Structure 1
Amino acid sequence: MLIMPSEVQQACRRASTPQGYKPIYFSCADGALLRLQLHAFEPGTFFDRFGQVELRPNAFVSMEQAAIDQRNNSKGTFSLVEYVNRMARAGDLHVIETSACWSRRGRVEEGWQPGLAEISRERHWQNHPVPALGPIFQHPDDAARYAQQRTDNEILARTGYEGAVLGENSGQRFVPLEPVAWFANEENLRLRLFRTAEDPATDWRRPAPRFPDGYAVVASHQFSLSGNTLLVADNEQIRSNFAEPALVYAHTHELKNQGFDIRGYYYSTPGHELLKYTPVYSDAERDLLLTRSAVYENGQWVSRLTPGQFVSRLLQLGEFQVLVAGAYWRHTGHLGNGWRTRRQQPAAEGAVRIRDEL
């Protein structure tokens, strides 16, 4: 269930640097993935014989402790539970991928036992509001391309995901958030991922996400949660192939008003097509995005804006691109007034560059 103590000791010694310990990852035999960040010194407050505060080496990696663990293991008296709790006291031990033994994702707390019941995603986020990140790219579009490949087809079609792209201050590096799946009876994922420390609603129950130093959100990424209904005509059968105006507004103007520098909005369809809209933040754009597709008047629903009309008007304002083509959006590139005809033309054969990863 766990790597042998002798191997853990070797990894800890290799991770030691003058600046402290580097993170250590353990791939367990039962499929779990752990991360250990050892404390530089023994936890606690200690004093020398002169009454001065003394910094002691982390006892978990001492040769004496290694010999004790090896001897107990040879005698058959070695306790995995005691060892794991000792490891958790010596540093921050996290379960990244679970298994039957390591069944609770997140930080390993005192009193750990094998097979603990999993805590809710909301509780896990409260304890550790750090979203998982993908690799570094030179262009935000490539970061979005990577993220859309990290989704499950069933969840993508049923409930969808939320995501974002982070950009470094220099503008030379971009990192995608790993897509976060929508589940029923949970907090709005958009509110969770796009929350600032200055937001009055931010507290220990609803913490702001922590991103790497020097990085900030530069684009939102929505995965197949279109909001389009059957209440209005949809001659182009857009349906889930692009989002309704209110959701585009929520991922652009609304986030801009919260202080996020949203330079692009990505939308991934159930067919793994990838669209990008670059907002201009004009009054005309805001008014279009706030237009309700249908209103209830005199006992019936009246169409105000069909999905096709919405796309046509949006193309006249900001830049609309198809980054990854598919069954509905058959051609990559910028879309113009003739988008209805162009999207139905047969797709050209040939190799497609997926991403440019550093």
Structure 2
Amino acid sequence: MEYGSVILLRPDGKFVATSPIPGEATTFDLSTIIDFDALGELEPPKGYRFAANIHSHAALHDVVGEAYPELDEMNLRLFINFFSSSDFMGDVDGRAYFRSSYLSGPDGTLLKYSPSGSKAELDYYRWHEAGARPGREPWTRDVMSIINKLASVGELKVLVSSADWGHSVGVVPPDWQPGQGFSTGRVTELPLMTRICSTVERAVLAALKSRGAQDSGLLLKKTAGNEYVATHARPFGLASWDPAKNFAAGDDGQLRLPEGYRLEGFYYASRPDPSRLTPAQPWLYENFFTPQDIALAISCHKRSQQLAVAGRPLSLYMQASDASMLKYSFSGSEIEAALSVEHSDGSITDAGVQSRLLTGALSPREFVSMLILAGRLEVLRGSALWARLGRVGLEWIPFANFPWPPLSQAFLSADDAVRYAHEQVGIRRDRQYAGYVFQRSDTRFVVTEPLEGDIDVLDQGRLYPRDNRGRPVFPDDHVVHARYVSHVALTQLEPVNISSRQWTLQEALLSLQMLSVEEVRQVLLDNTVLYCSAAMNSLVRFAPYATPASKDLARRLGTRVHPGPLALGLDKGSKRPQDFIREQAAAGWLFNLTDNELWGHRGQILPGWSMSESAGSTSAEPTSPHTCTPYAVPASAVAAPVSFVVFAPAIFSSAFAMEAA
């Protein structure tokens, strides 16, 4: 389906376009959106004048290709993306009202035809009117001959180009051939620009969101008010920021910007190479100016200062990957000048700053401070990372609005750090708590203070802010060593679950002091250490082995959506809690960190483990289980000390075992 619109000239000299409306499959009738006066003449809205019209062509490649099998791929695209005979005739008929006609092609091109009123154009019109009889020139049906004909009888321009047009823009010569470039490299008219915007950030967004937009361009400001426009976004590079490559020069050699406008600065969308992120703070590097971008911008600033509004510094506007928008205002300071080095061969480098970032010799946060000292840095549109709008100072902190979890004091071992978190949870067993165990760059260990959450909260990284890909952002110089969770008290268990599974009192207690199905699943998936503060006097550590037994356990547990046979058996009660503990002990290193009535003395829990007869009751594992509700627990059992068990993978070698021992 084709769409059409009319471009009008307002009384204040600005241009506007009507909203495009649909027409027919292969035609658009302008009379459907234009009024007629009493004499049958086209009549614009009151106070407006007609300037031009625009319509689109539909992507009928298959249909046209079948109708014209002689057309190769390029000529087929040119045919579909070019003015039809009826388009040409309508343009000539409407010459008294519309100085030009635009065609938006389905492959992204934008063409402009301005009728000349010449005899040659009229002859060509009459030939079409007579039925386009075959014969010698100018009577032709060939695709290229039609293009060449319009280029000779009127003015044909390419405004948005493609490979078929040789990536050239400007006036098409009458002898042009497909795929050949025809631009002379000399700018002769104004570039394509966005609508007039009330703020500079809106102009940047308008440029980057327009159809066919690339990455960068120039920004202009009206000298007598707050009106901004941006040039159509071009591929990132020096040419897109060079005013001489975008605006024509007058007879005096001075660049001719739109009347009443001066240069505001440069803009671009930052898209750092994901394969070349910094080792430290990659989440900041990918959402900030790169040193090479700054180096190019500083060089362009030096060449363009004379085009700026008097007394107003030029600025660089950057839309980051997280949708924030930052502004750097040039100062001309010595620090700023040192960030851009121009060489005799015309190349521009960043004085080695980029290399220092990639090797870790310089952190992205330190580079932020460099720009703060070099010029003026501002946040125009915020994000989670750039949370505070306005000027950025040396005291800036990332994710300023996020409640970062407080960290504990430092400990010599991970076990000691987790024991501290275990003690902080203490008797708070009405809900679950979770946190991380970090090893700092000085090899000391710290934990996050216990926060409400479970294994899912840790898996989803909800305790910390997240980067562009949803990964948690941890404190600098802190590496995740392990995670920890706590379990609720026996009184928090649902009686119906205990009854349906026919658990004994011992098994009900055991179900809370062992790792849950969800926890073991996640440990096996992430291949990481998990500590479990199962009760006030129960602390265990679990780390999976890299063995077939570990993989088999993961298979038999399945997923939450598709649980495996072992998970189903545990849920139904056909598999008992003690069975699951033995499975864990066979698939990983299960270690009890505290002396406990249920687990026994501190040490590794082996695959042959069994409950003590005195654990929770006087009877051992009965052959005929009886039910027990959480509200029928003997006082001695409730007051019994709780253990803390750890499960850790074999990849942590014997050194881990020595530490635990």
Alignment TM-score > 0.5, same fold: yes
1:15 corresponding residue in structure 2:
95
1:239 corresponding residue in structure 2:
285
Amino acid of the structure 2 residue aligned with 1:108: V
Q: Tell me how far apart the structure 2 counterparts of residues 151 and 31 of structure 1 sit (CA, whole Å).
A: 8
Amino acid of the structure 1 residue aligned with 2:265: A
Q: Report SS of the residue matched to 2:397.
A: helix
Is the contact made by 1:103 and 1:118 (CA closer than 8 Å) also made in structure 2?
yes
The CA RMSD over aligned residues, in Å, is: 4.4
1:194 corresponding residue in structure 2:
242
Match of 1:282 among 329, 333, 338: 333
Is the contact made by 2:200 and 2:228 (CA closer than 8 Å) also made in structure 1?
yes
1:26 corresponding residue in structure 2:
103
Are residues 76 and 191 of structure 1, via their aligned partners in 2, closer, same or farther at CA, if it must alter by over 3 Å?
A: closer
Amino acid of the structure 2 residue aligned with 1:34: L
Q: Report SS of the residue matched to 1:340.
A: coil
Is the contact made by 2:113 and 2:157 (CA closer than 8 Å) also made in structure 1?
yes
Q: Report SS of the residue matched to 1:322.
A: strand
Q: Tell me how far apart the structure 1 counterparts of residues 87 and 276 of structure 2 sit (CA, whole Å).
A: 60
Q: Deviations over 1:31-60 (max 9, x none)?
A: 754201344xxxxxxxxxxxxxxxxx5224
Match of 1:307 among 364, 378, 391: 364
Quote how far apart the aligned CAs of 1:316 are. Answer: 4.8
Are residues 235 and 263 of structure 1, via their aligned partners in 2, closer, same or farther at CA, if it must alter by over 3 Å?
A: same
Q: Tell me how far apart the structure 2 counterparts of residues 31 and 172 of structure 1 sit (CA, whole Å).
A: 32
Gaps (5+ residues) in structure 2?
1-78, 341-349, 404-464, 466-661
Quote how far apart the aligned CAs of 1:332 are. Answer: 4.1
Q: Tell me how far apart the structure 2 counterparts of residues 30 and 273 of structure 1 sit (CA, whole Å).
A: 31
1:179 corresponding residue in structure 2:
233
Q: Tell me how far apart the structure 1 counterparts of residues 87 and 270 of structure 2 sit (CA, whole Å).
A: 45
Q: Report SS of the residue matched to 2:266.
A: strand
Quote how far apart the aligned CAs of 1:220 are. Answer: 1.0
1:352 corresponding residue in structure 2:
none
1:84 corresponding residue in structure 2:
147
Is the contact made by 1:148 and 1:268 (CA closer than 8 Å) also made in structure 2?
no
Higher alpha-carbon Rg: 2
Is the contact made by 1:227 and 1:244 (CA closer than 8 Å) also made in structure 2?
no
Are residues 32 and 239 of structure 1, via their aligned partners in 2, closer, same or farther at CA, if it must alter by over 3 Å?
A: closer
Are residues 105 and 343 of structure 1, via their aligned partners in 2, closer, same or farther at CA, if it must alter by over 3 Å?
A: farther
Match of 2:378 among 311, 316, 321: 321
1:48 corresponding residue in structure 2:
none
1:51 corresponding residue in structure 2:
none
Is the contact made by 1:163 and 1:180 (CA closer than 8 Å) also made in structure 2?
yes
Quote how far apart the aligned CAs of 1:308 are. Answer: 0.7
Q: Deviations over 1:272-331 (max 9, x none)?
A: 3321122333334434677643779xxxx783x432112124335643222333454345
Q: Tell me how far apart the structure 2 counterparts of residues 194 and 170 of structure 1 sit (CA, whole Å).
A: 24
1:258 corresponding residue in structure 2:
303
2:128 corresponding residue in structure 1:
69
Q: Deviations over 1:63-109 (max 9, x none)?
A: x6533321142x46652444432321133212345689878753432
Amino acid of the structure 2 residue aligned with 1:12: V
Is the contact made by 1:321 and 1:332 (CA closer than 8 Å) also made in structure 2?
yes
Are residues 248 and 344 of structure 1, via their aligned partners in 2, closer, same or farther at CA, if it must alter by over 3 Å?
A: farther
Q: Tell me how far apart the structure 1 counterparts of residues 365 and 389 of structure 2 sit (CA, whole Å).
A: 19
Taking the TM superposition and a 5 Å limit, the aligned residue runs for 1:50-129 are 58-62=118-122, 65-73=124-132, 75=133, 79-81=140-142, 82-96=145-159, 106=169, 107-112=171-176, 116-117=178-179, 119=181, 124=183, 126=185
Is the contact made by 1:162 and 1:222 (CA closer than 8 Å) also made in structure 2?
yes
Q: Tell me how far apart the structure 2 counterparts of residues 162 and 30 of structure 1 sit (CA, whole Å).
A: 22
Q: Compute the TM-score of the two structures, normalised by the length of structure 2.
A: 0.37
Amino acid of the structure 2 residue aligned with 1:264: S
Q: Report SS of the residue matched to 2:368.
A: helix
Matched, 1:268 2:286: no
Is the contact made by 1:163 and 1:222 (CA closer than 8 Å) also made in structure 2?
yes
Are residues 217 and 229 of structure 1, via their aligned partners in 2, closer, same or farther at CA, if it must alter by over 3 Å?
A: farther
Q: Tell me how far apart the structure 2 counterparts of residues 100 and 192 of structure 1 sit (CA, whole Å).
A: 19
Aligned residue pairs total 294
Is the contact made by 1:35 and 1:94 (CA closer than 8 Å) also made in structure 2?
yes
Is the contact made by 1:137 and 1:173 (CA closer than 8 Å) also made in structure 2?
yes
1:144 corresponding residue in structure 2:
204
2:402 corresponding residue in structure 1:
345
Q: Tell me how far apart the structure 2 counterparts of residues 151 and 223 of structure 1 sit (CA, whole Å).
A: 15
Higher relative CO (CA 8 A, sep ≥ 6), structure 1 or 2? 1
Q: Deviations over 1:233-259 (max 9, x none)?
A: 63464222112345324313x223213
Identity %: 19
Match of 2:218 among 164, 172, 183: 164
